[in-house]
Every structure is written in C-alpha cells, then in structure tokens.
Structure 1
Amino acid sequence: MQLSIVIPLLNEEKSLPELYNWILEVMLAHSFSYEIIFINDGSTDHSWQIIEDLATTNHLVKAIHFKKNYGKSQALHAGFLIAQGDVVITMDADLQDNPEEIPELYQLITKDNLDIVSGWKKKRYDNVITKNLPSKLFNLAARKVAGLELHDFNCGLKAYRLEVVKNIDVYGEMHRYIPLLAKNAGYTKIREKEVKHQARKYGETKFGSERFLHGLLDLITIWFLSKFGKNPMHLFGGLGILMFFVGFLSALYIGVSKLYHLYHQIQDILVTQNPWFYIALTVMIIGTLFFLTGFVAELILRSNRKTERYKVSKTLNH
C-alpha cells in the first residue's frame, strides 16, 4: 500500500463528506493504493455516524472512536499504530489542509528518500492578532530550541515514512514536535514544503490562544527529555552537588570566621543571627533536594511501565 492518510477530528460533521470526496478524487486521479484512517477524538456531533456511513461504502476507510476527547497527540498515536502505507500523511479534518498537496508530499518522501516532509502554511487565512503573530513567535522559539529550520511546527499537513511513525512515541501534546521527536530518534532527513492554506469553511477552531503557552511548556519539556531524559541524574545530581558544595563552603566560612573572632576575643554576633547562616543552610537543603529528585527520577525511569493513554470505544475496517 502506498498511502495511509491519518485524520484526527473533533466535531467536524459538516466538513467530513467534502473532505472525503476531495481525498478520493486525488487518490483516483493519481491511481494511489491507499487507506483513510479517521480518529474520532470524542466528537459530540454526528461525526461518527458520518464516518460509519463512509466505512460502509468504502472498505478502505478505517476509523477509531475514542470514548471521550483525549487530544490530537493521542489521536495521532492511535492512527500511527494501525497505519500500513509506505508513506503516512497527516492532515486536519477542517478543510484547511489541501488534499491536492498529497501527491507531491508522497513524491518527496519516496523519490528524495526523506524521513519527513513538514508543511509550511506561508500564506495563512487566520486572524493576524490572535493566531498569526503568536504562531510566528512560537515557531521562532521552537526553531531555536529544536535546531530545526522549520517555519511552521503547528502545520497538521505532514508526510512520513512508515518506519518513522512506528518508531516515535507521540504523547501528551507533543504532536507539534513530531519532527523533533523523529530527529531525536535518528531520523534526520527532514524537509519543509510550502503548502496551501484554506480558510475555515465550517465551524470554529478547536484551539484557543492558550495552545501557544502549552506549546512553549511542551517545548521546554521535550528539550529537557532530549538532553537528560535517559539520565536525569546528570542534571539534578550535578545541580544538587554544586549547590550543596556552595552551601557547605559558605557554612564553613561562617564557622571559621566565628572561631577567628573567639580566638582573638573579638566581639561577634551569634551564628544564628548571621543571615549568611540561613542562606548557606537553604542552599545546602535545596542542593540535597535536587540530588534526591535526580535519584527518584532515575528510579521512576527504570521502573516505568506503559500505561493506557486512551480508551477506544469502536473501530471500523481493521
């Protein structure tokens, strides 16, 4: 099979039939062998009923129905697990991603032997103040931290070699950083392609302005995990030892100073009245806590077991 098209969705009943027909036209025009995988992320409208009808008429339509809304990352994770195509395309269900981009994305992966092709919506039809400007600032920060020259980490339209999606773990809200997850896993052949952006035709966006704050926090998380995820003791233990050493030297200085004043019968304040005593004590305690944090993190990492991330209510055609 050439293509797996993975589409996470939440309450997109109006756009689904049009999106499906559009994808079908592209598949038939280019004679692709394909599967379309819808992941219904807890929709409360008629999205699932529409998907059931599509799956009944076309056995190449596969679907997963979550019992409730678990988020885009969990939806992509579920879709990646069952994808079988040589190239996996991800796209949103709101008609803002253009299916006519799929053939070129497929060619870039197969002909140029790339791992990932990430879409770049250079010309956008979103609100400039609430979405475009924050998105530019977010992407700038992401480029600096990730070390990837991508202009649009948030673009849902991406193409992957099947091996890539089978060997990365998309969790939490890390769907924005799949290229970085892939890079950390050794898949470094990543390219960007400018893609068409459509204005939203039906409904309203499911993502508010808070997603940029969440995105920055996730970016810090993934930076930490990529640097110290396998050995958290290297960070916390190092900081702990450093702070404990600084606190110990400060306490030693206070003690020696007190002995000096006693020996020379110089009047001096009590140790407990010296503010540096409490500073040194606090630094030593914080250093000890850092060290213990690193130790506990190592224990958790070594005893970690996979937990159930989402509950699937129904599946279709797989």
Structure 2
Amino acid sequence: MKLSVVIPAYNEEESLPPTLRALYQTLARHGIPHEICVTNDNSKDGTLKVLQDLAANEIPTLVYFTNPGPNGFGYAVRYGLERFTGDCVAVFMADMSDDPEDLVKFYNKMMETNTDAVFGSRWGKGGKVIDYPPLKKFINRIANFIVKMVMGIKYNDTTNAFKLYKRETIEGIKPFLSPHFNLTVELPLKAIVRGYTFEVVANSWTNRKYGESKLKIKEMGSRYFFILMYCLIEKYFSRGDFRKKSAAPAAQTVSR
C-alpha cells in the first residue's frame, strides 16, 4: 500500500530540510512505498528553492506543488489532498512537530487492521508533548473537551492535524469546507459521522525549532465552532445520506 504524505508549507525554508530528510530516511528504512507531497503555499522566502534542490539532489520521492491562491493552511492541505497518488494519505507538519516514527506506527496499524483511518493522540497513555506552550495546551484541552461533549465521542485529540486516511475515506468525506486550521477538525469529525472506522495510536509532538507558528488562536474560535456545528447538524439531520456505503458481501469474502 503506497503512502502519501501531504505537508503544507508557508515560509518554511529552515524547517523543511531536516523535516523532509528525516521523513524520507525513516520511511525508506522501513521499506514503506511512499511519496512526500509538499504544498508550497505561495511562500515569500526560499521555500520553493529548498524544495527544488531537495527533489533534484536528495529525496527522489519528493513532489511539490505551489498553491497560487487562495492561501491558508486549509487551502494548502486541500491542494495536496486533490493531487496525491497513494492508497492512503497522512497530513504531516513542515516544522517537524510530528515524529516520522509515529507515522510508521500509523501505517502499520492501518495495514494490520484495515481500518479506514488512524488518529494520533498526544494526551492518552503513551502520548507525549515536548515544549508545548502552556496557554496553547490549556486552550487545546478545553477545545477538545468541547468537541468530545458536543459530538458524543471518546477521542481526545481531534484538533491535531497528524492523521492517516485511506484514499476511499478522503473521497468519502468530501467536499471540504475549511480554508484554515479548522480543517484539522473537519476531516476526522466527518469521517466519524459518516461511519468510517478508525484506530487511535499514541503519538508525540515537539515544538518547532525554526520560524513561527501559523496558527492564530484568536482568529480560529468562530471557524472551529462553525465546523463543529456543521458536523453536529450532519450527524443528526442528514438522515445518513453521506454515510459510508457498506461493502458488497462478495467483496468481504475475498482473501488477502
């Protein structure tokens, strides 16, 4: 099963080289067929030049796109999600906050269980955060608690972008609505509401070493709330119109 890794990048010329090298080396060492898809979100620094050099000289599985606009985290991820070629796809951050070894765990879990998606959790048993800003952590835990209560789910890290989806799952949760970081909530909640199966795997998170975070908390509250309400309305009022279609009996009996 070919793995695609979609990475949004805006002004990440310092973060991308160590991130992409570590990601490629890890996936190659584990023998995972893959492609690394970076969306250059119309960066103003040397991000594009970095991608050109790495693809030409170091990382043969690297492909990159430039999103001419509209720009924003959600748009950049969506640009990559329309262009990847793998059988499954992970959203991975350019700042190396996600651990490539955790991605290997996600991939292996999907292969073992044939689940439709694998979600990471930084806050349960086995999860870990390093240098997480206290205010950001406080807001994160409140936001995820609200999502859990409103949606009636047990999963405790919905807002984390780092997740793995089968191609069929991505196709089944379209169309996407979120232009910004609220896409991190839209993807898993739609998958859950529409009946796709998922497993939860503990993962780690490390604060960025270069550049600055693109997440502006003050700007995102109403956008997260909009997506949460959209998914809640779909859950109770769509009458199952968007739910995952059950496989035909014959397909279920095919040996692998």
TM-score range, shorter chain: 0.7 to 0.9
TM-score, structure 2 length as denominator?
A: 0.82
Kept after mapping to 2: 8 A contact 1:134/1:212 = no
Match runs of 1:248-259 below 5 Å: none
Rg (Cα) greater in structure: 1
Secondary structure of 1:186 counterpart = coil
Task: Give per-residue Cα distances to partners, 1:258-314, cap 9 Å, x unaligned.
Answer: xxxxxxxxxxxxxxxxxxxxxxxxxxxxxxxxxxxxxxxxxxxxxxxxxxxxxxxxx
Secondary structure of 1:152 counterpart = coil
Q: Provide the residue aligned with 1:27 in structure 2.
A: 27
Match runs of 1:299-318 below 5 Å: none
Q: CA–CA distance in 2 between the matches of 1:229 and 1:73?
A: 24
How far has the Cα of 1:82 moved from its partner? 2.0
Q: CA–CA distance in 2 between the matches of 1:28 and 1:174?
A: 29
How far has the Cα of 1:178 moved from its partner? 0.9
How far has the Cα of 1:127 moved from its partner? 1.6
Task: Give per-residue Cα distances to partners, 1:70-117, cap 9 Å, x unaligned.
Answer: 222222222122222222121111111111112111111111111111
Q: Provide the residue aligned with 1:75 in structure 2.
A: 76
What is the aligned residue count? Answer: 229
Kept after mapping to 2: 8 A contact 1:121/1:152 = yes
Pairing 1:143–2:148 present:
yes
How far has the Cα of 1:217 moved from its partner? 3.0
Q: CA–CA distance in 1 between the matches of 2:200 and 2:151?
A: 15
Question: Quick one: structure 1 residues 13 and 3, their matched pair in 2 at CA, closer, same or farther if it must change by over 3 Å?
Answer: same
Pairing 1:163–2:172 present:
no
Kept after mapping to 2: 8 A contact 1:6/1:79 = yes
Pairing 1:12–2:12 present:
yes
Cα RMSD between the aligned structures?
2.0
Pairing 1:179–2:188 present:
yes
Pairing 1:126–2:132 present:
yes
Q: Provide the residue aligned with 2:111 in structure 1.
A: 110
Q: CA–CA distance in 2 between the matches of 1:218 and 1:87?
A: 24
How far has the Cα of 1:69 moved from its partner? 5.3
Q: CA–CA distance in 2 between the matches of 1:209 and 1:72?
A: 13
How far has the Cα of 1:135 moved from its partner? 0.7
Q: CA–CA distance in 1 between the matches of 2:184 and 2:238?
A: 18
Q: Provide the residue aligned with 2:102 in structure 1.
A: 101
Whichever structure has more helix as a proportion of its residues is 1
Q: Provide the residue aligned with 2:198 in structure 1.
A: 190
Question: Quick one: structure 1 residues 144 and 155, their matched pair in 2 at CA, closer, same or farther if it must change by over 3 Å?
Answer: same
Q: Which amino acid in structure 2 is aligned with residue 43 of structure 1?
A: S
Q: CA–CA distance in 2 between the matches of 1:205 and 1:116?
A: 26
Unmatched 5+ residue regions in structure 1? 232-318
Unmatched 5+ residue regions in structure 2? 241-256
Secondary structure of 1:49 counterpart = helix
Secondary structure of 1:82 counterpart = coil
Q: Percent identity at matched positions?
A: 27
Q: Which amino acid in structure 1 is aligned with residue 208 of structure 2?
A: R
